[in-house]
């Protein structure tokens, strides 16, 4: 089982990103679940979502304690939240940031999703839309196929810029 913990801020689309990611894995023929962690969230507050991917039905409902991958949609969260808590020794970190970020002891990928969203004028209620370009970056990491990523996005959002953003992130992320 591959376990992903997604850190974002309320309003950034983290919960939707988790669903689209699970959908893309499902299209790849995997069993996948996405769970938002509900609490006293409000706009701008740090929130967490969990995604599990496996070849067999997933029987676990509790939170992910030892993720294989940690995704950070807003790098400023790292100042207040220990995003690497429980991260497996060979665990990987993916951060949305304009500057390269290094997480000690872990392979860390950085991609500027915010600039990608802004370059396509993808803004909702004042927030750049980060979830669809994120799916492209995750496809580049090989966790989901590029085809399923694009299909999952296209079937969830009618605006074509979402697929364009995912393609851009796929191209920009250096592996």
Binding site for another protein (CB under 8 A): 18-19, 22-23, 26, 31-36, 38, 57-63, 65
Q: What angle do the packed helices 146-156 and 14-27 form, to 10 degrees?
A: 130
Minimum gap (Å) between residue 34 Cβ and another protein: 4
Given a contact cutoff of 8 angstroms between Cβ atoms, the answer to whether 158 and 130 are in contact is: no
Minimum gap (Å) between residue 156 Cβ and another protein: 11
Minimum gap (Å) between residue 35 Cβ and another protein: 5
Q: What tokens appear for 76 in the block?
A: 């400023």
Minimum gap (Å) between residue 20 Cβ and another protein: 10
User: Smaller CB distance to another protein: residue 32 or 95?
Assistant: 32
Given a contact cutoff of 8 angstroms between Cβ atoms, the answer to whether 118 and 128 are in contact is: yes
User: Smaller CB distance to another protein: residue 60 or 118?
Assistant: 60
* Alpha carbon distances (Å) from 122 to 53, 130, 131, 165: 29, 9, 11, 9
Given a contact cutoff of 8 angstroms between Cβ atoms, the answer to whether 127 and 11 are in contact is: yes
Q: What is the 3-state secondary structure (H, E, C) of 59-73?
A: CCCCCCCCCCEEEEC
Helix, strand or coil for residue 114?
helix
User: Smaller CB distance to another protein: residue 50 or 170?
Assistant: 50
User: Smaller CB distance to another protein: residue 148 or 162?
Assistant: 148
User: Smaller CB distance to another protein: residue 38 or 104?
Assistant: 38
Minimum gap (Å) between residue 164 Cβ and another protein: 24
Q: How remote is the C-alpha of 91 from its chain's centroid?
A: 15
């Amino acid at each position: 089982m591959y376990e992903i913990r997604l850190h974002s801020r309320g309003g950034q689309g983290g919960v939707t990103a988790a669903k689209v990611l699970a959908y893309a894995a499902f299209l790849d023929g995997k069993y996948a679940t996405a769970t938002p962690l509900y609490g006293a969230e409000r706009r701008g507050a740090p929130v967490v979502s969990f995604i599990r991917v496996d070849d067999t039905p997933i029987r676990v409902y509790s939170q992910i304690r030892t993720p294989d991958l940690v995704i950070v949609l807003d790098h400023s969260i790292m100042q207040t939240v220990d995003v690497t808590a429980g991260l497996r020794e060979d665990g990987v970190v993916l951060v949305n940031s304009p500057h390269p970020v290094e997480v000690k002891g872990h392979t860390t990928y950085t991609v500027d999703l915010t600039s990608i969203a802004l370059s396509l004028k993808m803004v909702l209620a004042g927030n750049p839309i980060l979830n669809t370009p994120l799916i492209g970056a995750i496809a580049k990491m090989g966790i989901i196929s590029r085809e399923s990523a694009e299909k999952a996005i296209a079937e969830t959002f009618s605006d074509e810029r979402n697929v364009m953003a995912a393609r851009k992130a796929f191209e920009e992320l250096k592996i």
